[in-house]
Copies of this chain bind each other. A is one copy, B any other.
Amino acid sequence: MTAQTSALPDPETLALEGGHSIGGKWTAVSDREATFRAMAPARQHLLPTVFAEANDVDVERAGRTAADAARPFAATTRDQRAAFLDRIAEELEARGPGLTACAHAETALPVARLEGERGRTTGQLRFFAARLRDGLDFSPVHVPGDAARAPLPRPDLRVAYRPLGPVAVFGASNFPLAFSVAGGDTASALAAGCPVIVKAHPAHPGTSALTADAVMAAVRACGLPPGVFSLLQGRGFSGGQALVTHPAVQAVGFTGSLRGGRALFDLAMSRPQPIPFYGELGSCNPVILLPGALSARTEDLARQWAASLTQGVGQFCTNPGLVLAVAGPDLEQFLQHACTALSAVPPAPMLTGWIARAYQDAVTELGALPGVSTVLPPARMAPAEGTPAIFRVSSDVWRQTHRLHAETFGPAAIVITCTDLADLTAVMDGLEGQLTVSLQLDPDAAQDRAAATALLPLCSEKAGRVLFNGMPTGVEVSPAMVHGGPYPASTAAASTSVGGLAIRRFLRPVSYQDCPAFLTPPGQI
């Protein structure tokens, strides 16, 4: 237990707002309307705060206040927005112990992990603030006019970037801070100059309320219009659906399941005015073990993979749930070492009871599929827990079994044993879109070098990020990060939800033709 944890407040005594934050004010929680409480997954008991369930009236009010804020916020300078992001980071730090205690109670994620995630969250906010100050995402393109050009004069043209308008952000279950209320989507949308309406994830409403309090304080401190930020609570689907179809909303950021994300994507596309939907919906994150690497680093690879697979009880978007390798004694050794490492991992509570039930059901289903053999059966799990499991299949069985292509959220993996490298390549060819593909290779082995060279275009075709001799968990916040990929990894394959390029999702170019000197194209130059 660290120094911080001993100073954490009792989460059950924290004074948490149970209403929505709309236009700078908390709404009252009425006992005549639907409400819900959060469940502490580690102890499977309900936490005390009663939270409101967003209805159409709440969504309408949030949409209207965001629409009112959109123009003044679009007119802020990049420096003003950078100061705002920095201030949100400071306000989060000021609420650090409460946030950690609340998130620990609501998600059962370890305290050290949550402290680290807070650092990632404030780091992201400051990263986008720095990005605003350097101005790269807003660099205008200017082509001066030429009155002498024949047959027609060339007009003066200048491209500037402007925000799309209010953005709906859906908090993710697995990152209560870094991909939630003040997470990457919110930070990049605010950086772009778009008001944000967050639909909080129902698994951590208290953490969401505390985070919203930090953002609201920053809005006030920076003198911004209050509609720049709203938070809606809710356990049901209808609030989120109403939000995606609200006419004021001009784009959506979402991280979650394929099923839920696709349903919201379909709503966004069927609006009278369709809007961009940036959804990150799931990925199996294949790890390819080339023969030389498998032979040279058998035990190391097994340990690294086991650690990546079980990090955060396997509840990462980039969890390496699929392994591709050529059958043989090296692979058997690898699996033995992996089983040893994984057997030492104690059962741990998952984020919510229903996530744990879904995981336990999936593991039971996978083990019972024809042609699937169980390498590591899951240890006995308490109701809210998840423990690692490994299954293996031949490439033929994998090709014929649709269920094996889907992500299992949790620390389970499928190992596809291929007959040779050509078979492995064919498996890759049949893969759906992925967030990541990891290539384990021995650069000193001629066979691995040749195989990696041949496989690289296919890896690039299937994923948003290709790793070499690394495991996919741990997504660097960098100008060169792509956290996205072909569908279903993302509904917008050309975008990323992490890193510098994320801000571009919420901007569009406008071309100004022969703009007179007394006028400056607004906002973003």
- Interface contact A276-B494, CB-CB below 8 Å: yes
Contact B523 A443 (CB under 8 A): no
B141 touches A479 (CB 8 A): yes
* Chain A, range 500-518, C-beta contacts under 8 Å to B: 500-501, 504, 507-516, 518
Chain B residues, Cβ within 8 Å of A494: 164, 276, 504, 507-509
CA distance in complex: A510, B154 (Å) = 36
Note all chain B residues with C-beta closer than 8 A to A509: 464, 482, 494, 496, 501
B residues within 8 A CB of A515? 466, 468
* A500 CB to nearest B CB, Å: 8
* A 468-492 to B, binary, CB cutoff 8 A, 1 in contact else 0: 1110001010111110001110011
User: Do A274 and B513 have beta carbons less than 8 Å apart?
Assistant: no
The reply to whether B511 and A464 contact each other, CB–CB distance below 8 Å, is yes
| In contact, A460 and B511 (Cβ under 8 angstroms) | no
Q: Binary interface profile of A, 56-80, with partner B (CB < 8 Å = 1, else 0)?
A: 0000000000000001001100000
A511: chain B residues within 8 A (beta carbon) = 464-466, 480-482, 496, 499
CB distance from A98 to the nearest CB of B (A): 24
> Taking the complex as formed, is A453 at the interface, i.e. its CB lies under 8 A from any CB of chain B?
yes
> What B residues does A52 contact at CB under 8 A?
none
Say yes or no: is A457 at the interface (Cβ < 8 Å to chain B). yes
Cα A285 to Cα B59 in complex, Å, equals: 33
With A and B bound together, what is the CA distance between A507 and B465 in angstroms? 15
* A142 within 8 Å of B (CB atoms): yes
Interface hits, A111-133 → B, CB 8 Å:
none
The verdict on A110 contacting chain B, using a C-beta distance below 8 Å, is no
What 1/0 flags go to A137-178 for Cβ under 8 Å of B? 000011100000000101101111010110000000000000
User: Can you name the residue of chain B whose Cβ is closest to the Cβ of A268?
Assistant: B269
Residues of B within 8 A of A476 (CB): 154-155, 157, 513
Cross-interface CB contact of A460 among B157, B456, B510, cutoff 8 Å: B510
Distance between Cα atoms of A492 and B523 in the complex (Å): 21
Contact partners of A466 in chain B: CB under 8 A: 510-513, 515, 521
In the docked arrangement, what's the CA distance between A159 and B452, Å?
18
Q: How many residues on A have C-beta within 8 angstroms of the other chain's C-beta atoms?
A: 75
Inter-chain contacts of A164 with B (CB < 8 A): 493-494
What CA separation (Å) do A395 and B509 show in the bound complex? 29
Query: How far apart are A20's CB and chain B's nearest CB, in angstroms?
Result: 27
- By beta carbon, the residue of chain B nearest A517 is B443
In the complex, which residue of chain B has the Cβ closest to the Cβ of A75? B457
How far, in angstroms, from A343 to B266 measured CA to CA in the complex?
49
State the number of copies, please.
2
* Chain B: minimal CB distance from A506 (Å): 9
CB distance from A481 to the nearest CB of B (A): 6
| Smallest CB gap from A500: residue in B | B141
**Given contacts A494-B509, A513-B467, is CB(A523)–CB(B159) below 8 Å?**
no
Complex Cα–Cα for A466 and B482 (A): 33
Most chain B CB inside 10 Å of its own CB: which residue of A75, A463, A488, A519: A519
Interface status of A400 (Cβ within 8 A of chain B): no
A326 CB → nearest B CB, Å: 20
Q: Is B274 a contact of A468 with CB atoms below 8 Å?
A: no
Task: Give chain B residues whose Cβ lies under 8 Å from the Cβ of A460.
Answer: 160, 162, 510, 521-523
Inter-chain contact B487/A441, CB cutoff 8 Å? no
Task: Output the least CB separation between A330 and chain B (Å).
Answer: 21
Q: Are A443 and B518 in touch, CB under 8 angstroms?
A: yes
Interface centre among A141, A158, A510 (most CB of B within 10 A): A510
A456 to B441, CA, bound (A): 56
A246: CB under 8 A from chain B?
Answer: no
Give the residue name and chain of the B residue nearest to A74 (CB).
B457
Q: Is the pair A470, B513 in contact by a Cβ cutoff of 8 Å?
A: yes
The reply to whether the CB of A273 lies closer than 8 angstroms to some CB of chain B is: yes
Interchain CB contact under 8 A, B480 and A158: yes
Contact residue among B74, B157, B452, B453 (Cβ-Cβ distance under 8 Å from A480): B157
Contact A273/B487 with A456-B519, A464-B510, A522-B460 known, Cβ cut-off 8 Å: yes
List 6 additional A-B contacts (Cβ < 8 Å) besides A464-B509, A493-B508: A157-B480, A273-B487, A274-B487, A465-B510, A465-B511, A481-B511
